[in-house]
A and B are shown apart, each in its own frame.
Chain A
Amino acid sequence: MRSLYSTLKLMAVGTLFSASAVMAAQTCSPEQLESLEESKHLFGPLSWPVCKALPNRPELTLASYFVWTDGAKQGERTYQWNTVILDSKRHKVQAVHREFIHEGKQAKIRPDSIWLDTANYALNDQVRAFGVRLHTGADLGCERESRGQFLNLFVYQNHILTRLVENLPTEYSRVHEGSMCDNSVEWEKEIAKSHLQILPTTHYGFADIKLKSKGVFESKSDHRKESRKGVEKSRSHTYIFKYNGEKYSIDRSELPSYRWSDPENL
């Protein structure tokens, strides 16, 4: 058991699945939809519900969906985002986590916004977390920076659903030079993706988690590339965050989008 857990702990938990395969594997049955409708406690239909049995506890099903609650125009709406644990056999609701998401410059709800990430986030020998990733980041557009694929980690213990990691961005885009708005202007941007690694060290009984990010540079002008001879086309960043007895405490100023903001550090 010990050796197995050690192996699991060191296993990188990445984003290895294609979006289409993920979406196909998280369809809700009619019976599950019936139960989810009663779980929302709001008037109105479910928007883009998804369901998936937990691999280590198949008697439980993880589900998540939105309910449009306010606002009219696309990009200005408010949705309630619900995450639910269902009994897989009778589809009875066991626990619900609710949060409101207001669309705006930084957030946009899409049909494929929810990805139920049931990779092996083993926090200790007994407790395994599961993820709900929200693809709700706004497109880069004319902004200099955008973040997306927000990871939420939950545990279900003693009939309580608890969120331990809140909206951790795992994708970044940053324009270092120029602008993406004007095709005639030269630009250089960096696109970064992050994945989690569960570490063998623990705090308050739960494993520390390393966030590893790799940024890849893209530029429009070949001339600009030549002028930066010797500069790497990609770079890495790591950040370790720890459980504080209540949740994983994340210093957002330590995340790569901020750390990498100064192109002079290249």
Chain B
Amino acid sequence: MKKFLLMSALLFSGSVFANSSCSDNAFRAWEKDSNQFRNSLFWTCDSYPADDSLEVMLYHTWVDGKDGERHLMLRVLLVKTETPAVVASGNLHIWEGPNIRVREGDYDPEAFIIDSTNYPLNETTNAFAILADIAGDNYCSDIVRDQFVTLFVREGKALKPVLKHLPLQQRYVVEGTACDRYGDKKTLHGQGQLSLADTKTNGYRDLILSTETVTDVYDQSSMEELSEAEMLEEESSGIETKIYKTTLKFDGHRYPVKWEELPAKEWWQL
């Protein structure tokens, strides 16, 4: 079982998400599906982790809103690899705001990525993950969240999100000001991984969010008298690492995501 858990762990590194192009059949399915919208942009595909006769396709359409406050609908399709047929589909709505921005320039990194890992939630239900890298320009924000995971399961012709927009990456300026580069500051940098637990709740396996957190403390007054070498040493000594773990349980409909309790309740009590 331990080996299985290891295989199931989400390791969001670039290699896991090597972009793969869409098949001709997936492209034809997109042509037909996207006709219902005024516009459709960007597509990416990857294999459906639970069944290699199917492929997952993503594309998005802008529903309304002006720049920076746009409303985007992400279409998620499950397409047959042998024929241009959509066997299941689902939607994910995203509203841009001060901290959320969907990049779509030619040289921008991809905003939405399909995870190639299978997530067996029970003996008959497999989930797959979409990762959204959509944090906006947030240099001066005291809290920054990014790498949002959504898990979909197939229910007949519907792809249903059972976990929505779980942030894997968080930065929290506990003391000081985010914008002040040289002022005293204490910052938490958290990078999370999602894995499946052995326990089940309401029929689906529990999820474990494990977040490695680096606490970075910068004390300006202690730096003023130091040489460059001493400064580097002092900076590294001000760094602490800690792992926070939170279990997410299925409530029969969703794995509820509560930002006030993520990546862990203790995170906010520092």
- Interface residues, chain A, CB within 8 Å of chain B? 30, 33, 37-38, 40-45, 47, 68-74
Contacts and interface: CB of A to CB of B under 8 A. Distances in A.
Contacts of B254: 30, 33
A68 B260 contact: yes
Contacts of B142: 71-73
Nearest to A31: B253
Interface in B76-133: 93-100
B164 interface: yes
Residue in A43, A71, A72 whose Cβ sees the most chain B Cβ within 10 Å: A43
A81 to B, nearest CB: 15
A30 B252 contact: yes
A44 B94 contact: no
A30 B253 contact: yes
Contact of B164 (A40, A45, A69, A70): A45
A178 B241 CA distance: 45
Main secondary structure of the interface of A (DSSP, over half): loop
Contacts, number: 51
Nearest to A80: B97
Contact of A45 (B71, B93, B100, B259): B259
B257 interface: yes
B260 A70 contact: no
Given A42-B95, A42-B97, A43-B96, A74 B268 contact: yes
Given A33-B253, A45-B258, A71 B97 contact: no
Contact of B97 (A30, A37, A43, A47): A43
Contacts of A30: 252-254
B258 A47 contact: yes
B165 interface: yes
Residue in B71, B142, B173, B174 whose Cβ sees the most chain A Cβ within 10 Å: B142
Given A43-B96, A74-B268, A68 B259 contact: yes
Given A41-B71, A45-B257, A70 B165 contact: no
Interface string B170-205: 001110000000000000000000000000000000
13 contacts: A37-B93, A41-B71, A43-B94, A43-B95, A43-B97, A43-B165, A44-B165, A45-B256, A69-B97, A69-B98, A71-B142, A71-B143, A73-B174
Contact of A72 (B97, B98, B143, B258): B143
B100 A43 contact: yes
A146 to B, nearest CB: 23
Nearest to B253: A30
A30 B162 CA distance: 11
A11 to B, nearest CB: 38
B3 to A, nearest CB: 33
A71 B259 CA distance: 12
A169 B252 CA distance: 38
A41 B97 CA distance: 10
Nearest to B164: A45
A82 to B, nearest CB: 13
A144 B252 CA distance: 46
A68 B173 CA distance: 17
A91 B100 CA distance: 28
Contacts of B268: 73-74
A69 B69 CA distance: 13
B260 A47 contact: yes
A70 B98 contact: yes
Nearest to A45: B257
Contacts of A38: 93
